[in-house]
A and B are shown apart, each in its own frame.
Chain A
Amino acid sequence: MAGKFSTLKMLLIFAISLCLLALGAADLKRRLAITYQSASVEIGHALLSERDRILAHQLDASVPALELSSSLVAIQLRAREAKQHLEGVIASSFGRLLFDEHQWHRIKQEFYDEAYLLLEEMENNTRLNVARTFLEHNIQNLLLAESGGEHTDVPMLTELFQQGAIETAEQNSQTLIRYVGLYNQLKQSQSDSNQIILGENLVRLIDENEHFWFDVVASSSSDVDLALALLLLMLFIYLLVDNRARLLLIGSTLAKLEQRTKEANAANEAKSLFLASMSHELRTPLNGVLGIAQVMASGECSAKQQREYLDVILESGNHLMSILNDILDFSKVEQNRLELEEVPFTLKALLAPIHSTFSSLVEEKHLALQFNVDVDDQYCYLGDAARLRQVVYNLLSNAIKFTERGEVHFSVSSGMMVGNKRALNFVIKDSGIGIPKDRLDSIFDPFVQAEGSTTRRFGGTGLGLAIVRRLIMMMNGEISVTSEPGVGSEFRFSVALPELPKEQLQQRSLDIQVLPQDLSILVVEDNRVNAMVMTKFCQRLGHRCSVVENGRLALEVLAERGFDVIIMDNHMPEMNGIDATRAIRQQLGLDTLIFACTADVFEQARDEFIDAGANHILTKPLQEAAFSEALALFSDRLPNNQDLPEPPTTTAQEPPQLTPANDSLADEQIFADNDALDDDEVRVESDAFDSGLLVDSGVLVDSEEQVESQVSEQANASDDNEPLPEDQLTWQVLMDIADQEADIALELAEAIVTSFDEYLGQLQPAFEQRDWELLHRIAHSIKGSAGNFALDYLSHCASEVVDAAISEALTEPQLQAFIALVERNRQVAQGLIDQHRQ
């Protein structure tokens, strides 16, 4: 638009410039013509006046002949000058452009040439006049003498003489006859000359010339006017166009602003709506958390009740989490900050976790879930598997959520091949409540659910489908929905992804979170509590776990049988982790994965581990995310489960076959026996939903802290009233580690009491003997345990003692304080045991 206007403006400016130039040219022509006009008028009038003077001279020679002659010369000089100027104009190329050359040649030729002739004629006339005067003088003299002076008029005398009226002497007669003949001749010449200069020629010439110049001036003046008018017109048009362009610009700017305002208003409305629904959404689960927490805080409750309450809190927390995740996802998608990855994946790997997740859910609701995968598994696809899985997950969870009875049908089929891209068609069909027709269009808008009441009945943020649609659009796919209220809904979407042969699938892909399961893991850890925690942890992730106490024992075990992964602690008696790792690599020549697990935050220890041959460093306390990531990182070196996992069975969970040893928890009894290790391997099928438990526990502990501390206070009220350290062992932490098994939690607590008793017994003597090495080891063990049970303060004090022991600068008061702290923690653990044993 602007381009068109500027082209038009340029054309107009060009036209205006041309008009200006034309104006200048026309004005130049006019001015030039005026100078020639005035010259020719002057010359013409001079010619006329000169003619009059010459004619007057014939009657009365009052004007000297020389003056007449010099006037003629002056006129001729002037005419010649003007003619030369005119020739200059005609000769120049610009002059030819300005003027009609032929006309000018004509006027030059006619006017000046004839003017020259007339001037010659006038000159001639003058001299004839002079000669005639002399002749008259002579004749007069002769005749006057004869006629006696009667007549003085020469023509009259001549007439009389010719008629013979005047008698003359013989001698004079001859002369007179000759003179009169000459006189008549001269008279004739002069009258001829007079006729020429008096003739039409001169007047016509002057008139024509003046008219010519007048016409030239007039026409060039009208040209000037025309050019001026055109110029003004062009200027006017230019102003109009400019005005129009500006108006349009303003208009489009206004429209843009209006659009922006609309968008802003819409966004604002959406935000208000969102806030309204969010406050409801967030409030509901929050109420659950707070309400239950208050109930728990208000009084004592049984372990069973507590378990139920915690379940409610967990569920509410998870719900909150999913809501927050949705919001986060949605805002990412909305702000286009989400970037899709391009990683090869197989459909099977994509769908396996979904299938396993929903199978149990469907079973709980007594629905039938049909899972049809009609895609050739020879191929893998290039795309963002996690996001695609999220889409399927959202749609499926919606389908299940809104379906009370009947079945949920999921199918994938490969469609057309376009280029190197294969269309994948997904269909999710349910027999749920359906969506009213008038809401179908807006179902994918954010914060919209089919009905306001839907939110109340089924919960949810209303963001799920919006996210789904955005994600599919980002993948250049399409989604559509058909639905009939009361009968069910059918969501169809398709995405086109590049298809590759399966060989190109890169095993190490991190995004494909198909973690290997059912691994055999060897935990090398001297701290019994830590070992227990790790065992539980691994079991929860679905792996089998064996524990040995130190590096040397680990070497013995490894010499006999292989493991998939070894988790190696560093500080251990007999043989530390680094040495053990080096021995495994060099003496046994095994390339088993070794994850070093250390509480050392210094780079040096890590480097030593890597140098010794460890594949990866994990930081204590062990985090699931870090562990899973590590497993994923090395998934290509782990046995992969090729088939879709069987639907997980929640019933398969069995209590670990740890040998209960209430009186003596000797390590040897439990771990040293190799045969027993096999029995200890516990397979735990875990529910994917609960996998976030350990991570979430931190949050939960915080929220529970108050409750728990009240409990602890009550528990410790009888012992002494001294102020407790900021953190202390809580039942919740134990329960989490024990996977909500109260028995195991108790075992853990007992293990803590036992090991702390042991350490307390060793600390003082070791200090007295200045056995820094032993002090260091004990403090380190305590630090490791404290880390596992979220006892930050204890962990901190322990690491101080470790440092002091290394530098051999441990002081008596510091040790005493530390002993007191350990003692207090032991007492708390004992309190918990007493409290929960019932």
Chain B
Amino acid sequence: MPTLARWTAIMAIMVLAGFGYALHFYQQHAYVSSFPPLHTDHHHAEHTEGEHAEHEDEHDDVQHEGTEHSTIMTSPLVKPLRSLEVENIPLVHLGWRLFNDPKLSSNGAVSCANCHHLDSHGSDPLPLSVGVGGLGERNSLTVFNVSNNHRFFWDGRALTLQDQMDGPVHHPKEMDSSWAEIVEYLSSSPEMEQAFAQANLDDIDEASVKLALTRFMEALITPPSDFDRYLLGDEQALTVAAKQGWQHFQELGCVVCHQGENIGGSMLQRFGYYNEDAIGTDLGRFNETGLESDRFVFRVPSLRNVAKTAPYFHDGTVTELEEAIRIMARVQLGIELDPLVVVELSAFLHSLNSQRPAILEVLENGG
């Protein structure tokens, strides 16, 4: 039988240990969101609208300052690209190396860059890309400006870039690998270990690999296009045809779905309201959710650099931009476009072309 004092000490240590464990448990499991707080006051419609109005006013003010008496057509739905300062160059460099590393795949031959060509426009000129297991199922989407999207993949099944990566890595037809294998490979390579160390990453694991790739893709913001310059007040940036095309783009209603900085890329929409015949056999989002309402639902793709990223649509069956424009008008708007309008729309879409992201030059020149 221990003495009273010893017993008290034992109990005190037990209690302290218990409290310590409880504190640790709390820190681990208490729910603290990593996202900004949700706006729950939207139902105060007036306030929200007021806020919006204010924002728009500000926007207008900015534009008005530089371009008084201008004829620039602005829209609250489309915004110019924000430029990005890359802060952590070593981390982005690591992401770039990983992106280009074919050893991440099971057969050591397929890197991310295989299907997302960094030297051109971030996607694949082939209708369907070739991975480890042969041809893929859907057309490759560009990785440029990808971080401005809210949803990823053609069916929008991923909500974050990190989740998106799981797709191509595990897909048997694409890289046919797993994070465990990738981590094992990276850990066994002294070169990569050094690169991780340079990027200030202590561990080589799924999270750090994803972080590096995410930071790299976030850095892939293209330089301003003609249209961006136009939106920012340069009236001369667009040709007359392009300006006409922009006019049509808004009036026809294209902008209802293709909006935001990326002019598309986030919303979901059913493909082929007016003509289901043109759709093909891909059921789209239905394959993921199984909901009847998701049949033929796809993500609205971004139109940035669209003139460069042929072929078009999820199955890459259309190679001509103007054909694609006509199809979109037919199946989504239920109208047959006048050829001139198609040309003008095409001119507008060409004004969305831009150079490769500047960071790539830096990285290719050795960081």
Residues of chain A whose beta carbon lies under 8 Å from any beta carbon of chain B: 6-7, 9-10, 13-14, 16-17, 20-21, 24-25, 27-28, 31-32, 35-36, 39, 42-43, 45-46, 48-50, 52-53, 56, 62-66, 69-71, 73-78, 80-82, 85-86, 88-89, 92, 94-95, 120-121, 123-124, 126-127, 130-131, 133-135, 137-138, 179, 182, 189, 193
| A43→B35 CA distance, assembly (Å) | 12
For the complex of A and B, the 3 pairs showing the least CB-CB separation, nearest first, are A46-B38, A17-B11, A45-B40
B31 in contact with A10 (CB, 8 Å): no
Residue of chain B at shortest CB distance from A137: B253
Residue B185 CB within 8 A of the other chain: no
B14 in contact with A73 (CB, 8 Å): no
Residue B311 CB within 8 A of the other chain: no
A9 in contact with B4 (CB, 8 Å): yes
| A6→B2 CA distance, assembly (Å) | 10
* Distance from A306 Cβ to chain B, minimum over Cβ atoms (Å): 79
Q: Which of A13, A70, A124 has the most CB of B within 10 A?
A: A124
A35 in contact with B259 (CB, 8 Å): no
* Distance from B157 Cβ to chain A, minimum over Cβ atoms (Å): 11
Residue B89 CB within 8 A of the other chain: no
A130 in contact with B8 (CB, 8 Å): no
A32 in contact with B15 (CB, 8 Å): no
Residue B268 CB within 8 A of the other chain: yes
CB contact under 8 A between A85 and B15, given known A31-B26, A70-B266: no
By a CB distance below 8 angstroms, the chain B residues around A13 are 4, 7-8, 11
Q: Report the tally of A-B residue pairs with Cβ distances under 8 A.
A: 171
24 A-B residue contacts at CB 8 Å? A20-B19, A35-B30, A36-B31, A49-B39, A52-B42, A65-B256, A65-B257, A69-B150, A69-B151, A73-B150, A78-B38, A81-B35, A85-B30, A94-B25, A123-B268, A124-B294, A130-B269, A131-B273, A134-B256, A134-B273, A137-B253, A138-B333, A182-B274, A193-B293
| A16→B12 CA distance, assembly (Å) | 10
Residue of chain A at shortest CB distance from B273: A131
* Distance from A39 Cβ to chain B, minimum over Cβ atoms (Å): 5
By a CB distance below 8 angstroms, the chain A residues around B8 are 13
* Distance from B274 Cβ to chain A, minimum over Cβ atoms (Å): 7
How many B residues face the partner with a CB closer than 8 A? 62
| A667→B297 CA distance, assembly (Å) | 161
CB contact under 8 A between A127 and B269, given known A39-B31, A50-B42: yes
By a CB distance below 8 angstroms, the chain A residues around B274 are 182
Cβ-defined partner of B30 (8 Å) among A31, A75, A137: A31
| A344→B280 CA distance, assembly (Å) | 128
Residue B267 CB within 8 A of the other chain: yes
CB contact under 8 A between A75 and B38, given known A10-B4, A32-B30, A92-B25: yes
Q: Which of A31, A77, A86 has the most CB of B within 10 A?
A: A77
Interface flags for B237-271 (1: CB within 8 Å of A; 0: not) read 00000000000000001001101100000111110
B253 in contact with A39 (CB, 8 Å): no
Residue of chain B at shortest CB distance from A6: B4
| A64→B52 CA distance, assembly (Å) | 11
CB contact under 8 A between A81 and B267, given known A65-B256, A66-B259, A69-B150: no
* Distance from A728 Cβ to chain B, minimum over Cβ atoms (Å): 77
Residue B365 CB within 8 A of the other chain: no
Residue of chain B at shortest CB distance from A52: B43
| A92→B32 CA distance, assembly (Å) | 18
A66 in contact with B266 (CB, 8 Å): yes
Residue of chain B at shortest CB distance from A82: B31
Cβ-defined partner of B159 (8 Å) among A77, A88, A138: A77
CB contact under 8 A between A20 and B256, given known A130-B269, A179-B334: no
By a CB distance below 8 angstroms, the chain A residues around B269 are 127, 130-131
CB contact under 8 A between A46 and B267, given known A66-B259, A130-B257: no
By a CB distance below 8 angstroms, the chain B residues around A10 are 1-2, 4, 7
CB contact under 8 A between A24 and B151, given known A9-B4, A88-B29: no
B18 in contact with A64 (CB, 8 Å): no
* Distance from A542 Cβ to chain B, minimum over Cβ atoms (Å): 70
| A715→B29 CA distance, assembly (Å) | 124
Cβ-defined partner of A49 (8 Å) among B11, B43, B289: B43
* Distance from A16 Cβ to chain B, minimum over Cβ atoms (Å): 7
| A16→B10 CA distance, assembly (Å) | 13
| A126→B4 CA distance, assembly (Å) | 71
Cβ-defined partner of B293 (8 Å) among A85, A121, A130: A121
Q: Which of B25, B34, B291 has the most CB of A within 10 A?
A: B25
* Distance from B251 Cβ to chain A, minimum over Cβ atoms (Å): 10
CB contact under 8 A between A39 and B33, given known A52-B42, A66-B259, A70-B150: yes
By a CB distance below 8 angstroms, the chain B residues around A85 are 29-31
Residue B57 CB within 8 A of the other chain: no
B273 in contact with A182 (CB, 8 Å): yes
Residue B28 CB within 8 A of the other chain: yes
B15 in contact with A64 (CB, 8 Å): no
* Distance from A786 Cβ to chain B, minimum over Cβ atoms (Å): 74
Interface flags for B287-299 (1: CB within 8 Å of A; 0: not) read 0010101100100
| A74→B35 CA distance, assembly (Å) | 8
* Distance from A114 Cβ to chain B, minimum over Cβ atoms (Å): 13
CB contact under 8 A between A25 and B22, given known A32-B29, A66-B259: yes
B31 in contact with A49 (CB, 8 Å): no
CB contact under 8 A between A86 and B31, given known A13-B7, A76-B159, A120-B291: yes
B35 in contact with A124 (CB, 8 Å): no
B38 in contact with A74 (CB, 8 Å): yes
